[in-house]
């Protein structure tokens, strides 16, 4: 799938991994719709990226809002060919602690945002892509989801987060099989420790310690490296139904 001349939607695209992806796709010739809850950051990024970028305020759990972002991308020149979902939230709480059992409402909310929200973006983007004319390879679109290495090595206190990200890994292959006949590919990236706004709030010594624990390169991942992998997935038609770890050979310890 060619990036140049395509239209893309990036959910959770106002900052971090999503913002880096939106910037790279635009640099490579796509038009990009940034979908995010943070209107201030999203509008500022779209203005910075220029006329081929636009912003749609969207909560990934709201079908009408996601549909509006998908429609905006589908209506751009080239049609919606690329969907990337980076939207998600984190939470840390033990299954049972001194305060009692894990809060069930919080567990459900993490799963809703991370897993159900990702599927909401996937299903609506794929439906729009299915109406595209196929390219020379028979492709109509590519959907890239974001999991985490916590899906495989969830740490203490990550039951909700790991479950939600594990669900994204689990849906990748069946979704790819579902959409194969329509020429739409599905792949998932499972990042390790990346230099995103979440980690930016930590003191510098803690950030350096986290980076030092990564075998190689011994540093936090850069959002642009995530974006590079998105571009590689889009460009390689054999990357389908797969979850790719992007973690510098890191395997998370229990805590």
Q: How many CB atoms lie within 10 A of CB 251?
A: 11
Query: Rounded distance, CA 107 to CA 121, Å?
Result: 21
226 a catalytic residue: no
Query: Rounded distance, CA 178 to CA 105, Å?
Result: 31
Rg (alpha carbons) of the chain, rounded to whole number: 18
C-alpha 5 chain-centroid distance: 21
Residue 26 three-state SS: helix
Residue 101 three-state SS: strand
What Cα–Cα distance (Å) separates residue 8 from each residue in 78, 111, 134? 9, 25, 16
Residue 199 three-state SS: helix
Catalytic residue among 107, 161, 194, 226: 161
Q: Which residue has the tokens 């201030």?
A: 40
Could you tell me if 12 and 87 are in contact, meaning their C-beta atoms sit under 8 angstroms apart? yes
Active-site amino acid positions:
161
């Amino acid at each position: 799938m060619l990036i140049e001349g395509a239209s893309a939607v990036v959910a959770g695209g106002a900052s971090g991994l999503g913002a880096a992806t939106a910037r790279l796709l635009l640099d490579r010739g796509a038009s990009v719709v940034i979908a995010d809850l943070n209107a201030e950051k999203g509008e500022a990024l779209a203005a910075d990226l220029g006329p081929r970028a636009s912003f749609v305020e969207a909560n990934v759990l709201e079908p009408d809002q996601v549909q509006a972002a998908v429609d905006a991308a589908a209506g751009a020149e080239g049609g919606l060919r690329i969907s990337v979902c980076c939207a998600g939230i984190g939470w840390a709480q033990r299954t049972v602690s001194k305060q009692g059992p894990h809060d069930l409402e919080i567990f459900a909310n993490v799963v809703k945002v991370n897993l159900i929200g990702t599927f909401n973006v996937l299903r609506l983007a794929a439906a729009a892509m299915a109406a595209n004319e196929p390219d020379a390879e028979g492709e109509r679109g590519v959907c890239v989801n974001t999991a985490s290495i916590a899906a495989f090595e969830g740490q203490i206190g990550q039951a909700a987060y790991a479950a939600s990200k594990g669900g994204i890994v689990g849906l990748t292959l069946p979704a790819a099989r579902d959409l194969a006949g329509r020429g739409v590919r599905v792949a998932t990236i499972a990042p390790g420790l990346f230099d995103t706004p979440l980690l930016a709030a930590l003191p510098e010594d803690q950030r350096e310690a986290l980076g030092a624990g990564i075998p190689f390169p011994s540093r936090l991942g850069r959002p642009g490296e995530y974006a590079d992998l998105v571009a590689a997935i889009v460009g390689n038609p054999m990357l389908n139904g797969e979850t790719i770890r992007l973690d510098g050979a890191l395997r998370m310890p229990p805590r």
